Amino acid sequence: MENVPSNWFMEFVTPDNIQQFAIKDVLYYGHSEFQKVEMIETLAFGKCLILDGKIQSCEGDEFIYHEALVQPAMILHPNPETVFIAGGGEGATLREVLSHNTVKKVVMVDIDKEVIELCKQHLPNHHQGAFDDPRVELLHTDAKKYLEETNEKFDVVIIDLPEPIEGGPCYLLYTQKFYEMLKTKMADGATFALQSGATILGITNVYMAVNNTLRTAFPVSIPYEATVPSFGGPWGFTLNSMKRNPHELSADEVDQRISKRVNKPLHFYDGHTHQGLFYIPKYLRDMLAKETMIITEDNPVFIPGI
């Protein structure tokens, strides 16, 4: 066969299923203090960030993931002014938050400064200059420690961390204790969204356990999903609040809030998408109904070893 690329990136989607991407260029390969870091340019999805062998986002479809993660929580809040972001080193989560003209301050905490510097250099289409916005306070420390020590309260919280990996830096931010502490850092009427794990059949254990744990902490905890092609299938998110429910927003109200507040075109999320986003398939609802695991510091959850 002619014109077959000689270099391929291979990722295990599940322990029994792989996906491969033809590599156009290797932008970076190395290790930070906390994780293995790869940046490649693929023929299918453009430039991609890979941490510990798992794709975090790619130029071609990152808008799906980042709009799905950020926009519902931002739009659900009637006037989000202060926002906290944990993780999100590519800067695209920050970009989506800053698209709201109501935002006055964003505190972004990502422990891995080296990854952020690499993303600033190699992934300009992700961050689009968001790190230079004067509304941003960027800190390189432990997000859990920062939240425990701050007296600040936030209108919106976005947790954009990798899935919990055994021995990794972020598994303690998926526990019941962390979610209970987080509630004390949320202003009245605040919303909280996170990526909560794969909903790809065969590797849903994290998604199920995270959502069951969130239900013990938040009166409103609504799971949802979006298909991200470069991830190999659908991906799970959860929107949480003490009182605001995304089901109560009409399509027209969502579109009106976007028109009034968001200063850039959205390509995934709008009022029509919002209406279907929070109705996950029956098999996931059935699995969640049977889930009993509550994540604690002594009983953590990790993605399957590969």
CATH number for the domain including 191?
3.40.50.150
**Does residue 167 sit in the same domain as residue 225?**
yes
Same domain? For 50 and 75 the reply is: no
Phi, psi of 236 (to 5 degrees): -100, 145
Residue partners of 187: CB distance under 8 A and separation at least 6: 82, 153, 154, 155
User: Would you state the pLDDT for residue 26?
Assistant: 95
Classify residue 278: in a domain, yes or no.
yes
Domain with 34 in it: what CATH number? Answer: 2.30.140.10
Quick one: DSSP state of residue 6? S
Does residue 299 fall inside a structural domain? Answer: no
pLDDT value at residue 246: 98
Q: Smallest Cα–Cα separation from 104: which of 81, 80, 133? A: 81
Closest residue by Cα to residue 106 from 114, 117, 98:
98
Same-domain pairing of 265 and 286: yes
**C-alpha separations of 135 from 99, 125, 245 in Å:** 12, 20, 28
Tokens 């989560």 sit on residue: 93
Euclidean distance between CA atoms 95 and 88, whole angstroms? 10
Q: What is the pLDDT of residue 15?
A: 84
Residues 92, 15 within the same domain: no
**What is the per-residue pLDDT across 151-174, written as a single tens digit (0 to 9) for each?**
999 999 999 998 888 877 788 999
Local confidence band at 305 (pLDDT 50, 70, 90 cut-offs): low
Q: From CA 105, how far away is CA 110, in angstroms rounded?
A: 16
Report whether pLDDT(288) > 50. Answer: yes
| CA 34/CA 17 separation, integer angstroms | 27
pLDDT digits (tens, 9 = 90+) for 46-60: 999 999 889 999 999
- Of 164, 104, 170, nearest to 137 by C-alpha is 104
What is the total count of domains within the chain? 2
**In this structure, are 54 and 180 located in the same domain?**
no
Examine the pLDDT at 306 and tell me if it is beyond 80: no
Per-residue model confidence as pLDDT tens digits over 183-218? 999 999 999 999 999 999 989 999 999 999 999 999
Residue 182: pLDDT above 50?
yes
Section 254-266 average pLDDT = 98
Rg (CA), the chain: 18
Q: What pLDDT score does 170 carry?
A: 85
Tell me: pLDDT of 7 over 70: yes
- The reported pLDDT for the residue numbered 1 is 45
pLDDT at 178 over 70: yes
Co-location of 114 and 73 in the same domain: yes
Query: For residue 157, is it within any domain?
Result: yes
What lies within 8 Å, CB to CB, of 152 at 6+ separation is 82, 84, 107, 185
160 is catalytic: yes
Q: In this prediction, what percent of the chain has a pLDDT beyond 90?
A: 90
Pick the catalytic residue: 112, 160, 252, 286? Answer: 160
Do 136 and 284 belong to one domain? Answer: yes
Q: Which structural domain range is residue 39 located in?
A: 8-58
Q: How confident is the model at residue 2 (pLDDT cuts 50, 70, 90)?
A: low
How are beta strands 154-160 and 186-198 bridged, if at all?
parallel
Judge if 53 and 75 occupy the same domain.
Answer: no
Least confident window among 6-10, 97-101, 197-201: 6-10
Please provide the size of the chain in residues. Answer: 306
* Contact between residue 87 and residue 94 where contact means Cβ atoms under 8 Å apart: no
Examine residue 306 and state whether it is found in any structural domain, yes or no: no
**Same domain as 34, residue 148:** no
Domain assignment of residue 2, yes or no? no
